[in-house]
Amino acid sequence: MLPTYFLSHGGGPWPWMKTEFGGAYDVLDASLRDLPRQIGGKPKAVLVVTAHWEAPAFQLSAGAWPSMIYDYGGFPPHTYQIRYDAPGSPELAARAQALLEGAGIAAGLDAQRGFDHGTFSALYPVFPDADVPIVQLSLQRGLDPQAHLEAGRALRPLRDEGVLIVGSGLSYHNLRAFNGAGAAASHQFDGWLRQAMALPPKERGIALMNWERAPAARAAHPREEHLLPLMVALGAAEDDAASVVYHEDAFMGALAVSSFRFGG
């Protein structure tokens, strides 16, 4: 059975801007490149829960060859020509839809949806050859943590079918304070998050469902779309131990950020 992950995916098209960013992404890059070693090679496919797609009901990208969505602004011209030509998997999309609907969770297929940067920036360092099929799962509008936990529970069988489930977001996401101004809040919230991950599974789940009570929660996540992919990854591995697979105390000079693995 494969583990699941919650990955902090960084900002914009950073894997294609290493010169501009200097060494700011070196630790994150190394952590992502280590994932194939952790899981023992390449999975059959990846299901990515992306923070950059929301819909009234859960949606799955179902195209065979997804296009690119450059969902960022103010970056160099070459970052709007990036290609990450991994295949999609209509079969996996249909399988995930069936699992969700079998659990009473409405889910649709979107054959036109392309890869957003929550997907291609996170997975390019992991699978640079773009040779692993990828299906994206949207968030459900309303951003109810329990709904996303239950979606993860429904998708758990995919782990036995060679599918790597990845929640792609950020453990700290306040773009108005994505610098020294956010340092205190990011450290308070990230410290709480890592402590919550170390709790026994039942207590961990309760803590994460009540994440808004955490220190500096709303300062770290004024809007929680970058945290909610964590709930799907958790739900798919609810009884498994969690471990920190990436952490920095001075990301972009000041911020505390982390990524987690469940199981494995």
Structure confidence at residue 25 (pLDDT): 95
Structure confidence at residue 93 (pLDDT): 98
Q: Is 69 helix (H, G, I), strand (E, B) or coil?
A: coil
Tell me how crowded residue 222 is: count the other CB atoms within 10 A of its CB. Answer: 12
E strand or H helix at 146: helix 145-155
- Nearest Cα to 29, choosing from 41, 39, 14, 19? 14
Q: What's the one-letter identity of residue 262?
A: F
Rounded to a whole number, what is the distance in angstroms from the first to the last CA of the chain?
8
Laid out side by side, the sheet with 134-140 consists of: 107-110, 58-61, 134-140, 45-55, 163-169, 4-8, 255-262, 242-251
pLDDT tens figures, 210-233: 999 999 999 999 999 999 999 999
> In Å, how far are 53, 61, 100, 257 from 196, measured between CA atoms?
26, 32, 27, 15
| Whole-number percent of the chain with pLDDT over 90 | 97
> In Å, how far are 54, 90, 208, 225, 254 from 117, measured between CA atoms?
14, 20, 25, 14, 23
Q: What's the one-letter identity of residue 180?
A: G
C-alpha span between 187 and 32 (Å, rounded) = 22
Residue keyed to tokens 């011209």:
77
Q: What is the band of 145 on the pLDDT scale with cuts at 50, 70, 90?
A: very high
Q: What's the one-letter identity of residue 198?
A: A
Asked whether residue 264 carries a pLDDT value surpassing 90, the answer given is: no
Asked whether residue 84 carries a pLDDT value surpassing 90, the answer given is: yes
Q: Is 65 helix (H, G, I), strand (E, B) or coil?
A: coil
> In Å, how far are 10, 56, 92, 132 from 110, measured between CA atoms?
26, 13, 13, 19
Question: Is 17 in contact with 76 (CB distance < 8 Å)?
Answer: yes
Burial of 41 (0-12, 13-18, 19+ CB in 10 A): exposed
pLDDT tens figures, 158-183: 999 999 999 999 999 998 888 889 99
| Whole-number percent of the chain with pLDDT over 70 | 100
